[in-house]
Structure 1
């Protein structure tokens, strides 16, 4: 019976340690842009509390200008904002669904809902200021 009591005691101590652990985020927020497709856009928008989706195309000059800024912001704002990239040429359903007629367009999703669209290539300080208001 002593061995059984010892096992119970160890289990109880382990359960108490688990209960007293600080809450950890349910998901790890990435520090670099994620690739989003027609089939994954709804899941991505629902998975992250704040998703900034960069809708771009390979041939688009302004899209190439803003790409390094998106990379930097993804690293700097890790844990607060998730950035995604959606190639509109390869994912026309999403572009049509959200009526994207000019690129780059940054779609802002908060708790799974589209709350804003930012059209054009913004300099980093301007883009950072616009994103701050969604936090």
Structure 2
């Protein structure tokens, strides 16, 4: 059986980067999900990290969606530094990115960086 011809996609897109600051006041209540940001429907997350600039009090911060609360991981934010997020390569119908602490917070600050692309989107064409 012969291979069929591949229709090449000439579209190229720039990755989009979400940057969101978070403080302990945003996630003070244990187990309560907070809308962190809204992503476009079907966005595909390529990479992400949480830069913890001031350590949080205790527990973890789960980042995900209503249907997958820890899709991007349960991050130990009790120490400062860059924490890598889990990347699934999946797109979600849910556009609200949530953050949920596993413990009450009385201190902490961080900045979220999330790089994503959109299916069927192009900024340029590659001949």
**Of the two structures, which has the highest relative contact order with CA contacts closer than 8 Å and spacing of 6 or more?**
2
The answer to which structure has the higher strand fraction is: 2
TM-score normalized by structure 2? 0.26
TM-score normalized by structure 1? 0.26
The answer to which structure has the higher helix fraction is: 1
Q: State which structure, 1 or 2, has the greater radius of gyration over its C-alpha atoms.
A: 1
